[in-house]
Amino acid sequence: MSHLLQPTILLLRDGTDSMEGIGQIISNINAIEAVVEIVKSTLGPRGMDKMITTSKDTTISNDGATILKLLDIEHAAAKILVDIAKSQDNEVGDGTTTVTILAGELLKNAKGFIEDGMNPQIVIRGYKRALEYCLARLESLIIAVDSSPERRREMLLRCAETALNSKLLSSYKAFFAEIVVSAVEKLDSNLLDKDLIGIKEVTGGSINDSFLVSGVAFKKTFSYAGFEQQPKKFTNPKIIILKIELELKSEKENAEIRISNVDDFQSIVDAEWEIIYSKLQEIHKVGAQIVLSKLPIGDLATQWFADRGIFCAGRVSNEDINRVAKATGALLQTTVNNVSPSVLGTCGRFEERQIGAERYNLFEECPSTKSATIILRGGAEQFIKEAERSLNDAIMIVRRCFKTNTVVAGGGATEMELSKGLKKHAVGIAGKEQLVMNMFAKSLEVIPRIIADNAGLDSLDIINRLRSIHFNNDKDGTEDTLYVGVDIVHGTGNNKESFVWEPLLVKVNALKAATEAACTILSIDETVRNPKSEQEEQQRRIKKSIPNAGKRR
């Protein structure tokens, strides 16, 4: 035979599902659009909330990162978008919804090119070229802020208010912006460690009853009999922090000992008592008035401390222990043998105070105030949890402003100016990339358009007005028109004068993350699903849904 039949080569496992080519890219884009449809109504000062119900809990939120996390998305390509949006939240704390919407719009506009047969690499190259221009153009849109302490603090307050504008706390944005800025100012200016700002939720009371503690506050820990006899207020106390268990343990839990008579047993019991009493005496001898420990403090130690006017708290969480150490200067001790006064910390005032239905331990007026605690009040648990997420975003934004000290106008003003400049820049680009860059410019307009839609405005009219204002800026040369964006009251307005500001870093990261997400999705032209991995995933889900599944009875 002159021609031999080529044998069939089975490369993948039988039953493997694969999809490739243009159909795969379009399918991925459609999945991203479905995610965008869910979150886009949360953008802006009048964004709506989402209620996500799971088997364990119900969450009401308009925070993009929270929604994407709770959706538990299964589509492989959509997961990429979720991961990139999470990176935005981890890096700058805000802008996850912007990243999701902008990436979705870039992909939506690229779909037409892909369907017409354009190579995805041309689209990717055009998008990356457009991003380079936008990042360079942003430098000329920075709002100049006076570096004096008063003006700098005003900038921080405005950025905090802008971050809270689209949140549940928007009606109280001025009140909470002051709290957030004051909390960040108390941190070490070089590190600005967010973990040193605690947010404690106390159900009950008005949201306006929330306040800032210039130091550390944590909920009263589990206590034994004798605790109420301890003093609950100190001035300039000496504080010791331990990782020691001050509790009598039954000998059977720790060792097995053979004894021949009752006296031997009594000597063992006496030795245990002597050990714990020696520890307590060492703590008392060093002059400590407040004893905090990560491990339990038993009833014997609690009563012993009460008899000597010493306050103690056991089972304090790592987070709270670390913040107390930073604020008071105390050093964590794993033994009390030969402990010296140099390891003790102090604060101006300690008090155990009733807040709502809970009792809290407050360490205030600390000498090295590198920590702060926000006591958050409110009527409903869901409200308080969403308020905590809102404050977290505002804290992250203020931290970034504190470091960079550069802001740009919000409300879609920056996106409109970038869109205008990119369209003019694209005129000088030859080939298909010009079309792609024009589409990138069009995609940027999605931010002001959705802000207007969510505010109940005519988005078509708003976008046309914004285009006219920004394009005419080159003719009349008015600098203020650079900062005109969506105003939810008047339709359009100067967001620089309205103090609707965003940190430059948030805008830069959002553009980079959205473009990266879009280019990553466009570069995927094949998905292979291994049947074995699908079976393992199915078994994992069954075990997760049935607590005792897979366990031998």
Pick the catalytic residue from 89, 94, 320, 393.
Answer: 393
CA 323 to CA 195: how far, in whole Å?
8
Find out whether 313 and 297 touch, Cβ atoms under 8 Å: yes
CA 227 to CA 312: how far, in whole Å?
8
Find out whether 350 and 344 touch, Cβ atoms under 8 Å: no
Distance of CA 270 to the CA centre of its chain: 52
Radius of gyration of the chain (CA): 30
Specify whether 59 is catalytic: no
Whole-angstrom CA distances from 88 to 44, 93, 161, 272, 366 are: 17, 7, 20, 54, 34
CA 235 to CA 343: how far, in whole Å?
19
The amino acid at 475: K
CA 243 to CA 171: how far, in whole Å?
44
The amino acid at 168: L
The amino acid at 20: E
* Helical residues (DSSP H) of 120-172, grouped into ranges: 120-138, 149-165
Pick the catalytic residue from 42, 63, 100, 162.
Answer: 63
Find out whether 397 and 94 touch, Cβ atoms under 8 Å: yes
Specify whether 481 is catalytic: no
CA-angle at 241, arms to 237 and 242, nearest 5°: 145
Specify whether 414 is catalytic: no
With a CB cutoff of 8 Å and minimum separation 6, the contacts of 28 are: 77, 78, 107, 521, 524
CA 365 to CA 327: how far, in whole Å?
9
- Residue-wise burial string across 54-71, b where 16 or more C-beta atoms lie within 10 A, e elsewhere: eeeeebbbbbbbbbbbee
Q: How far apart are the first and last CA of the chain?
A: 65
Find out whether 70 and 52 touch, Cβ atoms under 8 Å: yes
Taking residue 353's Cβ as centre, other Cβ atoms within 10 Å add up to: 15
Find out whether 93 and 192 touch, Cβ atoms under 8 Å: no
Find out whether 44 and 451 touch, Cβ atoms under 8 Å: yes
Find out whether 531 and 27 touch, Cβ atoms under 8 Å: no
What residues are paired with 345 via a beta bridge? 239
**Residue from 196, 176, 71 nearest 393 by CA:** 176
Pick the catalytic residue from 42, 59, 96, 492.
Answer: 96
Pick the catalytic residue from 42, 59, 66, 97.
Answer: 97
CA 163 to CA 398: how far, in whole Å?
9
With a CB cutoff of 8 Å and minimum separation 6, the contacts of 462 are: 448, 449, 452, 486, 491, 492
The amino acid at 40: K
Specify whether 393 is catalytic: yes
Residues annotated catalytic, as ranges: 63, 96-97, 393
